[in-house]
Amino acid sequence: METLKIVGFATLASIIYGVLHDQVTAHICVEYFTIAHPPVFPTQSPFLLAIGWGIIATWWVGLPLGILLAAAARTGRSAKLGLSELRRPIVLLMLFSGCAAMLSGIIGASLVATEVIALPNGWGDVIPKQLWAAFSFDVWAHSTSYLAGGLGGLFVIIRTVMRRIRS
């Protein structure tokens, strides 16, 4: 049962993170969702797009995180860890990912706004010039969010294994 709690919490935490993250980015540049994503939702509402894409884009990251974290915490002979010991590291991982994403978004938007770099991935032909900085914010924030979440998730898993080995 504890394994399911860990997997469920990690998945739910990722989904909540994704929805909150996308609430910010969809309100900064809705075109990131309406132009740069397939038309899954028949709406232009940043609020609704953020909910939909926040779920679609993060459940599949949270589920493997939860499975691997539960395996790291529960398998083997060492003292097993439960959700109560893993809740804080999972929440801190989400906060770390969010901070890294927002900082990266600001950097990306600033670099494009000052024309130090071009709009990423050739989107300049599709996105109106007045939206380039905002669009770049979203691209950089989303890319960094995945990177920070993936690397941070590996860190939490390795830290969990090490914690069990030491005990």
70 exposed, middle or buried (CB, 10 Å; 0-12, 13-18, 19+)? Answer: buried
Eight-class DSSP state of 70: H
pLDDT in tens, 17-70: 999 999 999 999 999 999 999 999 899 999 999 999 999 999 999 999 999 999
Note the pTM of the prediction, 2 decimals: 0.94
Residue with tokens 């969702």: 33
DSSP string, 121-135: GGGGGTS-GGGHHHH
Are 135 and 31 spatial neighbours (Cβ–Cβ below 8 Å)?
yes
Eight-class DSSP state of 120: G
